[in-house]
Amino acid sequence: MKKPFLIMLCGLIAIVSACSKKDSPNPTSSSIVGRWAIKGDTSREYIDGVVASTYVVRGINSPWCQFNADGTGFMKFNIGPPDDTIHFTYSVSHDSLYFAHPDEIIRGTTYSAFSYHADIQLLNEHNLITVNKFGFSPNYIEDQYFTR
């Protein structure tokens, strides 16, 4: 699996999980139900406590996440044309979003299984911000920004 896909996937999941009608210190799964546009993704890698690289993506090619009330969902991500849509399951507990994507083959391309945990920084009617501090390595932090 390519790193840009993982970065977009992680960012999207994180952002989608922080949305509700009020800024909520304890979001629930029902507060994120619906479609969220992925507006941005910022990834930082730290080496010896210093930012070694930063990767920023802002609202390209209209990516989005759909969270269903039954804990399932799907996401349009942007690896290249045509855009693929993957399926996932999710749950929200306190200020955390948990996301799991099974192995999936789309048009002959295998997308490997992936799990994700993100802290929900903001969740209200229109905005969701998630932060993943447990991503690709212990020195990797990713912020994702969603709107609806």
17-62 tens-digit pLDDT: 444 334 445 566 668 999 998 888 888 888 887 888 887 776 566 7
User: What is the pTM for the complete model shown?
Assistant: 0.71
Question: Which domain, by its residues, includes 57?
Answer: 3-147
- pLDDT, tens digit, for every residue of 119-144? 999 988 899 988 887 555 667 788 88
Number of folded domains in the chain?
1
d(CA 121, CA 145): 10
User: What is the CATH number for 131?
Assistant: 2.40.128.280
